[in-house]
Amino acid sequence: MDAQSPTPNLKTENAKQPRSADRPAKRPPKESSTAPGEAKLSSAKNPMKTSKHKDTPAGRWVSFRSEIKVLDCTIRDGGLMNDHQFDDGFVKAVYQACVEAGIDYMELGYKASKRIFAPTDYGKWKFCDEDDLRRIVGDNDTSLKLSVMADAERTDYHQDILPSDQSVLDMIRVATYINQVPAALDMVKDAHDKGYETTLNLMAISTVQERELDEALDLLADSEAQAIYLVDSFGALYSEQIHYLMRKYLHYSNPSGKQVGIHAHNNLQLAYANTIESIILGANMLDGTLAGFGRGAGNCPMELLVGFLHNPKFRLRPILQCIQQHVEPLREKLLWGFDFPYMLTGLLNQHPRSAIKFNTTTDKGDIVKFYDSLTSDLV
């Protein structure tokens, strides 16, 4: 997620903690053998679609959950590495790949305020004006649904988000920090009232206090949002923490019929693994990007994700072709993907902006110097 300076890093039950053999991960108390929202493989409401032998290992591993939806955010998250200055050819190539690959949603960028972000400093996918969208997708006469992200307090949403019958967009995803939740809820209602599908993406979750998270999820569960996203903005969460948080999100979301989503970053090389952990627990909205192209260490690679899901509607070849011809040629210049500076910010539960800046300096490669600069204030 695009991030300003978040709330201070508060060590909480769900925040990043040292791992050790004598300190097991904390988890919410179980009221039954299955956590709230966790898939019951032998239940009649089992989300795992199988034809026979649901309770066998084969039945669980070779089938698929048809309700899972996959969203490609290559343009939106990858654009954070070049101020969204993609040419039309690149955006059209990603769009065509998503269509041919059977992806459910494609996020084309942001609906950012032109009062806050000067259009002369950013590419058009920072703003996603309707004319620019239609130049790429026409009337989008495909099964692919289109979305944009609107950051709380950084979007002129009353004016810039048109009624859905005047737009080619299908969904508005509202991104918010914990202290911006009231503004985000108003944005979700506005988009819902205009006829859009909506999600609410709570960012920098690894820094949020437990009590604040509970209060926020209670509010989000009563909102018009159709899905609530767990967002590991700093790529700082381990699987135990994903397990704990996903169960919590499902506990609040399931009674109101909302889906839960996962948006992971790859600072600790866990974006794909944490996405799988979320799927197993019951998340049905999954974010990925082509070749993991995203801010800093990047995101869950779409090519891995669709391979894991087993759903025959997904096709890998168009994804690989787009990666080969359009995405990978950008890597040398834009420098996304796992790297030691990004690893260090993930380990320390910090925003990766310092690592992104460090990788553009003449000190690039001096990871000890970067580590010292990050930890000097911690001594």
Which tens digits make up the pLDDT trace of 87-101? 999 999 999 999 999
Asked if 264 and 270 count as a contact pair (C-beta separation under 8 A), the reply is yes
What is the C-alpha to C-alpha distance for residues 36 and 38, in angstroms, rounded to an integer?
A: 6
Helix (H, G, I), strand (E, B) or coil at 102: coil
Res 60: pLDDT? 62
Asked if 243 and 274 count as a contact pair (C-beta separation under 8 A), the reply is no
What is the C-alpha to C-alpha distance for residues 316 and 310, in angstroms, rounded to an integer?
A: 11
Global confidence as pTM? 0.85
Of the candidates 300, 228, 210, which has an alpha carbon nearest to the alpha carbon of residue 264? Answer: 300
Q: Residue 5 pLDDT > 80, yes or no?
A: no
Res 187: pLDDT? 98
Which tens digits make up the pLDDT trace of 322-346? 999 999 999 999 999 999 999 999 9
> In the structure, what pLDDT confidence band is assigned to residue 14 with cuts at 50, 70 and 90?
very low
Tokens encoding 168:
């080619």
> In the structure, what pLDDT confidence band is assigned to residue 31 with cuts at 50, 70 and 90?
very low
Q: Residue 29 pLDDT > 70, yes or no?
A: no
- When pLDDT is averaged across residues 77-86 and rounded to a whole number, the result is 98
What is the C-alpha to C-alpha distance for residues 71 and 98, in angstroms, rounded to an integer?
A: 9
Between 24 and 59, residue with greater pLDDT = 59
Res 58: pLDDT? 54
- When pLDDT is averaged across residues 6-10 and rounded to a whole number, the result is 43
What is the C-alpha to C-alpha distance for residues 220 and 51, in angstroms, rounded to an integer?
A: 35
What is the C-alpha to C-alpha distance for residues 347 and 238, in angstroms, rounded to an integer?
A: 10
> In the structure, what pLDDT confidence band is assigned to residue 19 with cuts at 50, 70 and 90?
very low
Separation of first and last alpha carbons in the chain: 29
Q: Residue 250 pLDDT > 50, yes or no?
A: yes
Res 4: pLDDT? 46
Res 377: pLDDT? 77
Res 378: pLDDT? 72
Helix (H, G, I), strand (E, B) or coil at 54: coil
Res 44: pLDDT? 37
Q: Residue 374 pLDDT > 70, yes or no?
A: yes
Size of the chain in residues: 379
| Token pair 């918010």: residue | 176
Q: Residue 241 pLDDT > 80, yes or no?
A: yes
Q: Residue 52 pLDDT > 70, yes or no?
A: no
Tokens encoding 49:
């679609």
Lowest average pLDDT, out of 124-128, 283-287, 331-335, goes to 331-335
Of the candidates 286, 295, 293, which has an alpha carbon nearest to the alpha carbon of residue 314? Answer: 286
> In the structure, what pLDDT confidence band is assigned to residue 379 with cuts at 50, 70 and 90?
low
What is the C-alpha to C-alpha distance for residues 150 and 176, in angstroms, rounded to an integer?
A: 9
Buried b (16+ CB within 10 A) or exposed e, 106-141: bbbbbbbbeeebeeeebbbbbbbeeebbeebbeebe
> In the structure, what pLDDT confidence band is assigned to residue 62 with cuts at 50, 70 and 90?
confident
Torsion of CA 286, 122, 177, 352, to 10 degrees: 80
Res 61: pLDDT? 66
Q: Residue 40 pLDDT > 60, yes or no?
A: no
Using N-to-C axis directions, what is the helix angle for 239-253 and 210-221, rounded to 10°?
40
Give the chain's mean pLDDT: 89
Using N-to-C axis directions, what is the helix angle for 271-281 and 302-309, rounded to 10°?
30
